[in-house]
Amino acid sequence: MLGCCIDQPEHFCACIVPIFKTLNHTELQKISTLIKKKNYPKNSMLFSKGDATSHLYILRHGRVKLYETSEDGRQQILRLLEPGDFFGELALITEKQYYQLNAETLEDTGICLLSRDDFKELIHQNPEISLGVMQALTDRLAYAENFISTLTLKTIEQRLISWLLALAEKEGVLTPEGIRLTINLPRHELASLFGTTRETISRKFSKLQADGLITMNGQKQIIIINKDDLASLTQL
């Protein structure tokens, strides 16, 4: 599928989505003709909870947060989306006619949109897509269960460390000093992700640095000095 994205960049949005991985070039070409591309500036609302469902969203570039808002206005981020992620599919294949979460861009973002009707027609014509959707939903459920467990059973420090370790696994760069990470989320968004305050997140970073587990270079760059020692602190 990645080769398709490189060789046929006009089909990029179709071929990066796992639920379309069983389709051939002709079928991907057809999907590409149905997809509309839009760009959104930072802090744009893609949809709000309760909005009528309309599209499958595919993230071309940028980042998006999916979140709930409490009655007193506090946000709880439930998922952070990176290029290649897709969202909104659950509302398109169930009887629910409204989005269940809020979606907002965290930076300038490019989105590919596939309409509800076109998506349903694709599933009708290519039943194997349904298997991909089921797998995606299974993965989302496993993520949600792990996320809930982390929020309810782990301390703020353990949540932060778990996230840093996951980021290291995905994007970390090995250097002589340790594993270098780039944190692209501002402190208030991290606080929303972990269900705490910006001040608490800053204190936790400072404590991990004082304990010799990480070094910080400004707000965005962190080096994990000893991954094993850091991981040992996440044990329940």
pLDDT tens digit sequence for 148-158: 666 667 888 98
Report the CATH number at residue 195: 1.10.10.10
Query: Same domain for 44 and 135?
Result: yes
Look over the chain and give the mean of its residue pLDDT values, rounded to a whole number: 82
Q: What is the pLDDT of residue 6?
A: 44
Burial per residue of 62-72, b for 16 or more beta-carbon CB atoms within 10 angstroms, e otherwise: bbbbbbeeeee
Q: 185 lies in a domain?
A: yes
Q: Rounded distance, CA 178 to CA 67, Å?
A: 33
Q: What does the DSSP assignment read for 153-215?
A: HS-HHHHHHHHHHHHHHHH-EEETTEEEEE--S-HHHHHHHHTS-HHHHHHHHHHHHHTTSEE
Q: 30 lies in a domain?
A: no
Q: 213 lies in a domain?
A: yes
Q: What is the pLDDT of residue 111?
A: 93
Q: Rounded distance, CA 185 to CA 19, Å?
A: 28
The residue among 221 and 125 whose pLDDT is bigger is 221
Answer whether residue 10 shows pLDDT above 70.
Answer: no
- Going by pLDDT thresholds of 50, 70 and 90, the confidence category of residue 3 is very low
Tally of CA atoms within 13 A in the half-sphere of 91 that contains its CB: 23
- Helix boundaries (H) for the chain: 2-7, 12-15, 25-34, 89-93, 116-125, 128-153, 156-171, 187-194, 198-210, 227-232
Q: 17 lies in a domain?
A: no
For residue 197, the enclosing domain spans 155-232
User: Can you tell me the mean pLDDT for 124-133?
Assistant: 74
User: Can you tell me the mean pLDDT for 4-12?
Assistant: 54
- pTM higher than 0.95 for the full model? no
Q: Which two tokens stand for residue 118?
A: 């076109």
Tally of CA atoms within 13 A in the half-sphere of 63 that contains its CB: 11
The residue among 165 and 147 whose pLDDT is bigger is 165
- Going by pLDDT thresholds of 50, 70 and 90, the confidence category of residue 23 is confident
**In total, how many domains does the chain have?**
2
The number of beta carbons lying within 10 Å of the beta carbon of residue 39 is: 13
Answer whether residue 2 shows pLDDT above 60.
Answer: no
Query: Same domain for 45 and 132?
Result: yes
